[in-house]
Amino acid sequence: MGAITPLGADVEASWSAMLAGASGVTALEEEWAERLTVGVAAGLPVDPASLMSRVEARKLDRCEQIAMIGSREAWRDAGSPEVAPERLAVVLGTGTGGVLSTLGQDDLFEESGGRRLSPYAVPMLMPNGPAAWVSMELGARGGARTPVSACASGAEALAMGLDLIRAGRADVVVAGGVEACLHPFTLAAFAQMKALSPRTEEPAAVSRPFDVDRSGFVMAEGAGVVVLERADFARARGARVHGALAGASVTSSAHHITASDADGQIVAIEDALRSAGLAPGDLDHVHAHATSTESGDLAEAEAVRRAVGDHVAVTATKSMTGHMLGASGAVAAIAALLTLREGRLPAVRNLDDPDPAVGLDVVRGENRAGDWRAGLVNAFGFGGHNVSLVLTGSRG
């Protein structure tokens, strides 16, 4: 596992902060923020460029830098497995790709003309850049793929990795999601569609999934990456196994370009359970997509009640990290793995007045200890993209 999030520069720091109920949301203090109707975001606690050489950083968009950092941590954590290049694949999803480079290089062009553009402008802006750079670093020749499905991208990458392994096309897949799009244009665009919370007071209290006082999500950046392996390959090399991606499903609601749809989400959840060979009663917890919008939270809650039941415990870590868009599903999968491994389910921050319409056992106040065996991770994106993952502990 590897991650860089608003809560920490690696998995351990991010997980410790989740368990502590910390928040990565801060006030926007840049001069350009005065023109916006939103005043908070969740940026990284460290400049990713400072974690690599200056020469390397200049070639990469911020999302590519973040992807490299998360992938390197995951590869180290996996023990740098020896695998034939043709049996190693990379799947890294993103919602916006190198949008910061796109906007920045366009500004430079308008101001100074084409001769001032970076010779790396195209590799920096292309959405497949993160997967391409990671594949070159690892020598992966089994494919470098980039699902682009808005906020479901990172989770879809894990589902695609599972498909590659089950189809016998790879032994090891580096899979995850990345996003870096904190920019006045993107913030203004999301704010114009009323998706972001307009609140500015108490930044750490703005993201509040499942709370009656929620008012929209907080945009964030980050990356989450896992190393998936065929089970017998991992056993043969004596790998340390954190858990299993037991099943996954990718569906589309074909309903609305931005609105959530419980019916489509139910199909994804039920199909993921079939993929894992589990029944709804086998699940004991859910890492919800839960962005802190009323329509999104309630649609997902309905989907979970109808597809799984109300016996599961539910967490929503976006209450602490903000919404990392294309990275969010992969980071949630890492949190789910850690819950299974360590037996602790993080409490939802800012859940002061739970919405009774949710009708689920949402964890609040204190983290919940338990012998967690199987968890569901949901990720849903604009365009009607639905992804559900089922993870089980290494004990199973």
Distance CA 385, CA 300 (A): 13
Q: Which residues, other chains included, contact 371 with Cβ-Cβ below 8 Å and sequence gap of 6+? A: 343
Contacts 24+ apart (CB under 8 A), 234-241: 237/79, 237/81, 237/82, 239/78, 239/79, 239/81, 240/79, 241/394
| Catalytic residue selected from 242, 285, 287, 323 | 323
Tokens describing residue 325: 């868009």
Secondary structure of residue 175 in the 3-state scheme: strand
Q: Which residue has the tokens 């973040």?
A: 66
Tokens describing residue 252: 């589309």
Distance CA 279, CA 224 (A): 28
| Catalytic residue selected from 63, 151, 242, 285 | 151
Secondary structure of residue 190 in the 3-state scheme: helix
| C-alpha closest to that of 83 among 128, 38, 135 | 135
Distances (CA, A) of 194 to 189, 190, 226, 300, 313: 9, 7, 33, 19, 29
Tokens describing residue 45: 């606690």
List the beta bridge partners of residue 88: 172
232 φ/ψ angles, rounded to the nearest 5 degrees: -70, -30
Active site residue 323: yes
Active site residue 151: yes
Q: Which residue has the tokens 């920019």?
A: 183
Number of C-beta neighbours around residue 78 at 10 A = 22
The identity of residue 15, as a single letter, is W
The identity of residue 216, as a single letter, is G
Q: Where are the alpha helices (DSSP H) in the chain?
A: 11-19, 54-59, 62-77, 99-112, 121-125, 129-138, 153-166, 184-192, 231-236, 262-276, 294-307, 318-321, 328-342
Distance CA 178, CA 82 (A): 25
* Catalytic annotation, residues: 151, 289, 323
